[in-house]
Structure 1
Amino acid sequence: MRLTLATDPASPDRPNEDFVGVTSGAVVLLDGAGVPSGMESGCSHGVAWYARTLGSTLLAEVTQSAAPLAELLTRSIKTVVSLHDFTCDLSHPGTPSATVAMLRRTDDALEWLVLADSVIIIDTGTAEPTVLSDDRLERTGVLHRTELDALTNGTPEHSEALRRYIEIMRGHRNREGGFWVASADPLAAARSLTGSVPAERVRSAALLSDGASRLTDLFGLATWRQLLDLLTRDGPQGLIAQVRAAEHDDPYGSHRPRHKTHDDATAALWTFR
């Protein structure tokens, strides 16, 4: 087995709110839900702290227990809540949150979990790889961002529309009919999508934050097979370089509307044979 990974912040002026970590038998990737400067969250620690703390807690859990992945996520969210529930207002709608993507290799299976819009790709040797993602965030968001998508990135109008969009989305977070993310409610872990693939079928697997997967699912510049081939040939850093080139080619979102011109980008490639 061989595992390679890379992560790159959207801007050198802001902390990277992605997290990726590995053990001998598991990979964990989180994408913290960043917000524009000035928006309240109720938490003094911030999104980057939340992603790092939940990610490292989850890694510790997966090395110590063979429990189902969703159960490990439940425990981890509870642990992180206990670290700041007396100092922060965790009832605030902007309480830090993160997507979660996990893989765990056992003797017989590759187990997976996704919560919100990070992506797992599993290559079993077929023409197209298996792509695993939780699209509830996208299905909710597309209903509310028509105004945002019509505005030019970097303008005051776009910034104000983004704030309104985020406020609306906060009202749908971790609610029926909306979408589910890791935050202050451990019950959200039970809403994760989970499954497994027989270990002998898997050639490789990749985990991507949406800042890395946007080459395919937002920009449409590669198929999932082409993205996986790029990862295999050039590594995670090569994929991120391609994403950055596409972002710089369309800095104002004129051709590829997006609420973030640049996003934290993280990718991990786990090769088994």
Structure 2
Amino acid sequence: MNVAIASLPAEPGQANEDFAAAASGAAVLLDGAGVAGADTGCTHGIAWFSSTLGGLLLSTITAHPARPLAGCLADSIRAVRSLHEDSCDLSYRASPTSTVVAVRAGAEALEYLVLGDSTLLLADQDGKTTAITDQRLDEVGKRLRGPVDELPTGSPEHAAALADYRDALTGLRNRPGGFWIAGPDSRAADHALTGTVPVASLASATLLSDGATRLVDSFDLDTWEETLTVLGSSGPAELIRRVRAAELDDPDGRRWPRGKAQDDATALHWTLS
């Protein structure tokens, strides 16, 4: 495998709640989440949840190549739950959750799974790109976040509006009409986007947290094709550097309203031979 990974926390010295890893023929990326300022009910924290779930998922999808990815994710969610349900209160509405992107390459096909607002970017041999993103969280968010986007990012008023927004968003988590994300309930895996693509048709598969896709889907500064060019020529670290530069150019969110001035950003770029 030819895999390059880069990841940065939102701020230096801050815990990085993203997780990405690869094994023979497989890769995963998770973006952990909670509710800002809220007690999660978990003594381990969001970074522990995303990294533990990610490690178990990668192990499961490589150890059981015939098991569908959604089944592997459900198994892994149950395994993580068993690790801390005796010490943590998983009934909290703010209990740690995570997006999930997973890919597994077989002899003929690349299987994929996407749950939450992280992105899988597939590039075929002709350079055409296909971005697979679970839009349900964004669709719900657009209905709720108007007051947040009207305020300067980082201001006390913005922080209060953001807390209200995230609380309302949490009430729509893992239910019909809302959105689905990996958390304490393994049934969320049944609602993941899944599919297969012929391996021979692909040049690369890239797994991206939403902190690494901002140049395209939030800032409208790049296209997916331009993102792929950066990844192929300079690697994931350069992509994240460019995201940070754009964020620092708009620290108050006036040009690009957003919940966080900077976010954890992770990119895993897998070049397929």
TM-score band, normalised by the shorter chain?
over 0.9
Q: What is the CA-CA distance between 1:215 and the residue it aligns to?
A: 1.1
Aligned partner of 1:87: which letter?
Answer: S
Q: What is the CA-CA distance between 1:128 and the residue it aligns to?
A: 3.5
Q: State how 1:64-213 maps to structure 2 within 5 Å.
A: 64-66=63-65, 67-126=67-126, 128-213=128-213
Contact 1:128 1:224 in 2 (8 A): no
Contact 1:70 1:189 in 2 (8 A): yes
Q: What is the CA-CA distance between 1:240 and the residue it aligns to?
A: 0.2
Match of 1:215 in 2: 215
Match of 2:248 in 1: 248
What CA distance in whole angstroms lies between the structure 2 residues aligned with 1:125 and 1:178?
36
Contact 2:18 2:29 in 1 (8 A): yes
Query: Do structure 1's residue 39 and structure 2's residue 54 form an aligned pair?
Result: no
Q: What is the CA-CA distance between 1:42 and the residue it aligns to?
A: 1.3
Aligned partner of 1:267: which letter?
Answer: A
Q: What is the CA-CA distance between 1:127 and the residue it aligns to?
A: 5.5
Q: Deviations over 1:28-64 (max 9, x none)?
A: 000001443x311111111001001100111110121
Q: Secondary structure at the match of 1:45?
A: coil
Aligned partner of 1:72: which letter?
Answer: C
Q: What is the CA-CA distance between 1:125 and the residue it aligns to?
A: 3.2
Match of 1:19 in 2: 19
Q: Deviations over 1:136-187 (max 9, x none)?
A: 0000000000000000011100011111011000100001000000000000
Match of 2:60 in 1: 61
Q: Secondary structure at the match of 1:102?
A: strand
What CA distance in whole angstroms lies between the structure 2 residues aligned with 1:127 and 1:23?
25
Match of 2:5 in 1: 5
Q: What is the CA-CA distance between 1:126 and the residue it aligns to?
A: 4.3
What CA distance in whole angstroms lies between the structure 2 residues aligned with 1:207 and 1:95?
24
Contact 1:17 1:34 in 2 (8 A): no
Runs of 4+ aligned residues of structure 1 deviating over 4 Å after TM superposition are: none
Q: What percent identity do the matched residue pairs reach?
A: 48
Q: Deviations over 1:171-211 (max 9, x none)?
A: 00001000000000000001000001001000111100000
What CA distance in whole angstroms lies between the structure 2 residues aligned with 1:12 and 1:272?
33
TM-score w.r.t. the length of structure 1 is 0.98
TM-score w.r.t. the length of structure 2 is 0.98
Gaps of 5+ in 2: none
Aligned partner of 2:52: which letter?
Answer: T
Q: Secondary structure at the match of 2:235?
A: helix
Contact 2:34 2:95 in 1 (8 A): no
Q: Deviations over 1:60-82 (max 9, x none)?
A: 10121020000000000000000
Contact 2:34 2:94 in 1 (8 A): no
Match of 1:50 in 2: 49
Count the aligned residue pairs. 272
Q: State the superposition RMSD in angstroms.
A: 1.0
